[in-house]
Structure 1
Amino acid sequence: MPENASSPRTPPWFARPGSRAWRCAAAPAEVREFHAALADYAPTPLTELPLLASELRVGRVFVKDESCRLGLPAFKALGASWAVHRTLAERAASGSAWGPLTLVTATDGNHGRAVARTARLLGQHARVFVPQGVHPQAVAAIVAEGAKVTEVAGAYDEAVRLAAEAAAPADAVLVQDTAWPGYEEIPGWIVEGYSTLCAEIDEQLAAAGVLDGPDLVAVPVGVGSLAQAVVTHYRSRPSGRAPALLSVEPEAAACVLESLTRGEPVSVTTGETSMAGLNCGTPSGIAWPCLRDGLDAAVAVPDADSARAAARLAALGVSSGPCGAASLAGVHTALSGVGAGERRSVLGLGPSSVVVLLSTEGAAANPHTTAGH
């Protein structure tokens, strides 16, 4: 991105020294085996963009392009498919699988569509709650999967509350990607599902001659489930370099950045943002300990920066919506402008560093991409 793409002000930023030394248990290996057995599974591309490396003044830049994952324009199907698989298996083992389930969830778009698609393919029902501000085209895409959609006159957290209430009957189950006390198992399975994405990156980097892994991974953050999967993957590896991990959020919904700054999980009042899938006010309860201990840094970016990043990626041949392009916007913000030298030092980046950007959705996943927001 051009040097003038970001304002000269100091960006909303948090850094925690020592995170690369923290370690945790790995995700189950059978997750990748499950996804690989699906009929429409294929690894998504890891695209190298030398022009971005030159602009960011690092060695190599790769973009993990999730614009087509299991037939949908975002990565969310990885978590939804594994979580539903585990849910149905558990019910069958307990003898309670007596008829079709209604899979209930709240969503800003992509997760709900992934749950609805999974339900349709497996002969189950789906009910999806969407908060105020979700684009009508995103709602229509969920409806097209056969789900019953309830539009909520409130923010994402309110949609989650109503979805949890609707999942109370015995023939319904909540498939939510945020966790709270008493609701942790299914969100944990969703996080495990995302581990396939990270395993693919390892293999693809090795094929590109990067044998020790990346130096920096940037991940867009809503409630933090994908970031939890990324932290778990890179902080559980027994060998190779431990990369710096950077979370990126909209300035209008920076709940993880605020929580890291305060040292405890907090909820924030969210505003409007074109990064609809990241418009979340409360970190997931099971994600928080991983993010607190395993993230090196967090940054928040305005909508204009994610729009410019999406346009830059499009010019380089990568389809990315505002949420997916947030990773590039966040890295550009971190590595340029006021205080950039110190931030580069915190992230351990130099002229030969390898950077991986997670582009979590294609432009088609978010109608705001073409609306100029």
Structure 2
Amino acid sequence: MRIGIVLPGHAIDPAYQKAQVYRQLIQLLTVANEVYLFLTSPLTTLPGLDSRHVEIIDASSRLAGGMRWWNVSRRILNSIPQHTPLDVLHAIGADLNGVVAIRAGQKYHLPVVVSVREDELVGYPDIGYGMQRSAIGRQVVRYALTRATIVVVSSAYMRQLASQHLSPSQLAHLREIPLGVDTEHFIPPQPGLSTRHREYVHVGALTPVKDQTTLLDLMASLPLVTLDIIGDGPLRSQLEARADALGLSGRVRFHGWVGYERLPAFYQSARFLLVTSRHEAFCLPAVEALACGTGVIGTAVGVLPEVGLTVPTGDVEALQTTIVRRPRKHGHVQRAQYRLLAEHVYSLSHMRDGMLSAYAAAIQRQRGQISS
């Protein structure tokens, strides 16, 4: 299969930690397929993909605003004929990436798969997050979702949000494909070394949508409990000051950004991952934790309701109750179950197979539309 993927450069940029999953997916797709990456924004670091099976076409533009996207779209439309015949286009994002892919699909009669990636289906004006905050954002998302041949979401939570934008007939072409975790990199600790000396760990960017303010308030309500925070972002100094003000400086440790190679050690040494986000399209740290045999407690967003103990967003009291009442017996059995769940449902190979199935369904649907 010849697959064209339209995506922002940071989605595969090694400097962007979330990009690991898309690089791994692309690498798996290249085993038996030809992959062409049409970048709508530039890379800062080369992604380290096998150049024998992946071609990167930089269609990014230095222009601003709408002119930038017009230029990006023109470049992609002009470059696709050089790489034909493509079998399918895949847009990473039900945003302007999706719009560009759909325009290309319409011009060259190609099926288009659109993956909802992050903030397209929500809007929080108080923190300046989400495409649903503006009429233009809502219009872009609706165009991408309703014109796609197949729409892909990564969790049941996102399926529910996406269904609000689709007609009953369009819902038949909505696929739920979880993101995958490298289960050879994220593994439980070696037998005999499983001390789990960290009680709780939190992994994520320090940004408003992650709501680490609620996380710190939770810690203040739980005496003697410790937390290790892995991640960096614009709110770090503010959160450190709040931790000091709450008297948490001895119990909450800020580690900053931690590289991919070092992440498993933090999960392996923790009993639970804590997540207090107001929104997650998926929450990759949750399945990374599972693969390491670590439990998950958090808010009912993304994949969390499917893999852990969850409560409504912003509810410190409910989180406190969940932590206090969490099961404490048969911990080794639970950790083995977490690992099995990661292996059988959230592996990279499962993600690859799901995407290939979505591509095949899109091609079949396109052929049916043409013949009719």
Higher radius of gyration, 1 or 2: 2
**TM-score normalised by structure 1 residue count:** 0.26
